[in-house]
Structure 1
Amino acid sequence: MLLKTHEVAKELGMAPRTVRKWVKKYEIPCTKNDYGHYVYDEEAIALLETMKGSSETAGTMEMVEIEEETEIEESLTRGPSQTGKEIKALTERIMRTEQLLHQKADEVVSYQLLQQRKEIEELTKKVEMLEQKLDKSNGKSAPTEDPPLVFDYENPSKTKRKNMFRSIFGL
C-alpha cells in the first residue's frame, strides 16, 4: 500500500511539513509518483511511526540514536581505505582548528598586554605630574619666612562690629 505525504501525515497525526522534514533529515526511503508527489511504502511509514513514538517519549535523543545507527551502517558498508581517509581528514581539520584556537588566544593575550601597558603609562604620567605638583608646593612653602610676631605690628586696627540691625538695614 502506497500513501502520499498528506495521507501519511493524517495517519500519524502530524503536519505534512514535519513528515517531509523527517524524510529529508533522516533519509527515509520513499519514491515519487508520476506527478512528483512523495509516495511512502509500509516500511517507510513504520519507520516514521517509530520515530514519532520515540520523539514523543524520549525527546530528540532517540532521533539522534537513529541517525547514529544509519551513520554506523554507512561506515560499515564503506571500505576501510575510505574510513581511513575520513579519519585523516578529520584529524587535519582538528589540527587546523587547534591552530586557529591558539592563534586567537595569542591575539587576545597580546591585546590585553597592550591595554595594560597603556594603562601603566597613563598611571606613570599621573604619578609624575603629582610628584611635580608636590615638589612645587613644597618648594613654595619652604622659602617663606615665619610670620612676624603680634607685637611687631604697628597698631592693629580693630574692626568695629556693626550692630546686627545696622548691617541688615545698611545703616
Structure 2
Amino acid sequence: MAKVWKTKEVAAEFQVNQTTIQRWIKHFNIECQLNEVGHYVIDENSYNKLSYIHQEVKKGKRLKQIQLTKEEIVIEKKEKMVPASTLDERFHKMLLQIDQLDKKLQEKADEVVEVQMLQHRKEIDDVGTVLEKLDERINYLESVISEKENKIVSLEEKMNIRKNKKRRFAEIFSF
C-alpha cells in the first residue's frame, strides 16, 4: 500500500502553515484525493511535487517562477550514514557543553543563595536594631513609670501624714 499524507503532516514536515500547502495544491493543480470530511489526502507523487515546490520556495523563487515538469522533480531520499567516530565526537562535545552548562547553573545557584543569605543577614540586623530600640524605649518607660510611682507614693505618704496630724489635732480638742 502506498504511503499517503494529510495536509497537516506535510505542513509540519516542511515547517509551513497548512493553508500554504492547500494554496500550493490549488495553484499548481496538483491532483489530490479528498477524504470523507473534505481534507486533502496526498499520495506519494503529489508529495514529491509539494516537496519540489518547497525546495524552490526555500531558494527564494516565487510561485509564478516555479515550473512543475517531471524532469525537474528530483526526489532526494538518500539516507546519510554518519561514521561512528563523528557521532562519538559530537556526543563528546555535547557532554562537554552539558558539563559547562551544569557548572554555570551551579555558580548561578550559589550566587542566588549568597544574595539571599546577605539579604537575610541584613534583615536580621535590622530586626536586631529594632529590638535594641524597643529595649531602650521599654527601659525608659519603666524608669518614667517608676518615677511617677515614687511621686505618687510620696504624695500618698504626705497625705497620710496630714491626715494623721489632723486627727491628732482633732484628738487634742476632743474629749
The TM-score with structure 2 as length reference comes to 0.48
Between Structure 1 and Structure 2, whose CA radius of gyration is higher?
2
- Structure-1-length-normalised TM-score: 0.49
